[in-house]
Amino acid sequence: MDVIDYIASREQMLTTAEVASLLNLDPSTIMRWINKGYLTACRFRNYHLFNPAVLADELRAAQRSTLAGTVGAGMQPDYVPVKQRPDIPERF
């Protein structure tokens, strides 16, 4: 069972910390993805809660678009390697 299947099998809502732990990411990355619209979460008091079925669907869509090499629904890294940035000289 992979992580996405495990998330889909959960019955309880997931917190940001739980999602970050399952995806082996920093919680700030999960918050950034929420703010950018990559992930959907419900806000409850000071927490963001994730519906496991919706989260699994979003992760599968991102996985498909990443594998297909398309841009859009996929979660993209927040950095661009130095060699791909024309504004930074090669010697940097």
**Using one digit for the tens of pLDDT, what is the confidence trace for 20-41?**
999 999 999 999 999 988 899 9
In a domain, 85, yes or no: no
Q: Which domain holds residue 26?
A: 3-74
Is the predicted pLDDT of residue 80 greater than 50, yes or no? Answer: no
Would you state the structure tokens that stand for residue 83, as one six-digit string? 């060699």
Tell me if 83 is assigned to some domain.
no
CB 50 within 8 A of CB 14: yes
pTM assigned to the model: 0.69
The two beta strands, 42-44 and 14-15, are unpaired
pLDDT tops 50 at residue 92: no
Say if residue 46's pLDDT is above 70: yes
> Which CATH number belongs to the domain containing residue 47 in this structure?
1.10.1660.10
Q: Is the pLDDT of residue 69 over 90?
A: no
Residue 82 lies in a domain: no
Residue 84 lies in a domain: no
